[in-house]
Amino acid sequence: MVTGSPIVLITGSSRGIGKAIAHRFAQDGATVLINARTSFDEAKKTASELPKPTDQRHSFIQADIGEPSQISELMKTIEERYGHLDILINNAAITTFIKHSDLHKLSTDLSDSLYKTNFRGPLLLIQRALPLFKKGNHPQIINIVSTAATTAMGSNVIYCAMKAALLNLTYSLARALAPDIRVNAISPGLIKTELTKAWEAYHEKHLRKTPLERLGTPQDIAEAAFSLVHSLPFVTGHNLIVDGGKVLQG
């Protein structure tokens, strides 16, 4: 075991939910590894703005988690720079808005890209992080899923299916990796980010069905992730729904 600030890898963390999670953990003294596929300048800026731990070792590590070779390089870089990993937050995801009845628009290329990034990537990251977890302190995994995983209401049919698969993986691995590694999921509802600004017409309809009468924020998800890691030590295999009660209304 090592001592010092925990090492936290957050995929897709140059902006939005991932960026908020990075700030929350950095505020508590963690060393945060920012990851992005293409947003280099944004990711580097995020890493530079994080509250610094005593050793000031936050960094940006570029990798496309849809590519197995880049995942291997990512883990190699972490091992060389830090020697271990304590927390992995699988946040990176991609999607395209396609009406569920428009099955003819679900191309093979779209299916493959959503599978690679939204499901296979997190699985490979977990597999290849295991040696680094063994050197860490109380290792934990959080998969950022979606309420689409259980409601089947999301940006497209394939996206919903991949998030359901990631949630099922969470349950399986919570059992398989216990007691050494805790594995949990967070299912955000509609979160107000740059991505969802394009869905303004949907917001009002969504709000009418949300008991807490507001959209979620990236900070809401960040607090949920932080609580799972630090305040709920006897929880594993759990799916924490953070949607203001929307799933109660359908």
Q: Annotated active-site positions, please? A: 159
CA distance 243 to 186: 10
CB 88 within 8 A of CB 126: yes
CB 84 within 8 A of CB 2: yes
- Give the closest residue to 20 by CA, choosing from 235, 194, 167, 148: 194
CA distance 85 to 132: 5
CA distance 212 to 40: 36
CA distance 123 to 235: 21
- Give the closest residue to 228 by CA, choosing from 164, 152, 141: 141
